[in-house]
Amino acid sequence: MEAARAEFALRRLLVGLLDSQYAELIAAGRGTDQLIDDCRALVDVNIALEGSERAKARNLLADMKRLNTTRNRLVHSILAIDQSPGAPEDSPQVTALYSKHRRPDLSQTITLDAAQQVPKELRQVGDALLLWTFANLPAATRQQVLPPQ
């Protein structure tokens, strides 16, 4: 659910940055990673944004990229709970086994507490991004109406 909220915030940001009658259509076809990359590129070249606002947007997008990567590894990887001697008892470690295109399998270890923190942070960053978008990009608030099919 939090990932869907974050994706919504990214779509609104892309719509606001594009400021076109076709922006909704363009934003609709993109996944989260592509939305982040497209938004970052457009933030960098948007002449209407002041330096501090541009930096704020870039920081939020960097946080979103980091959290989305962690979330994807937790959701789409094979997970193993570390039950080896010396593993923390109060917050077990989870190891996510994942692969990247044309690379051998990799793993990432994360505590259960840290894993549970990911959706909370994703929600916070998504909400902050949405508020930033509405405050800085008026086009993001306009709803485009498509003609009947």
List beta partners, residue 81. Answer: 94
Rounded Cα distance, 126 and 5, in Å: 7
Residues in the chain: 149
pLDDT in tens, 34-78: 999 999 999 999 999 999 999 999 999 999 999 999 898 888 777
CA neighbor of 129 nearest in space, from 43, 10, 3: 10
What pLDDT is attached to residue 79?
67
The pLDDT, as a whole number, for residue 5 is 93
pTM above 0.85, yes or no: no
Token pair of 29, please? 């076809």
| Distance of alpha carbon 18 from alpha carbon 102, whole angstroms | 34
End-to-end CA gap in the chain: 31
- CA 139/CA 15 separation, integer angstroms: 7
| Confidence (pLDDT) at 114 | 84
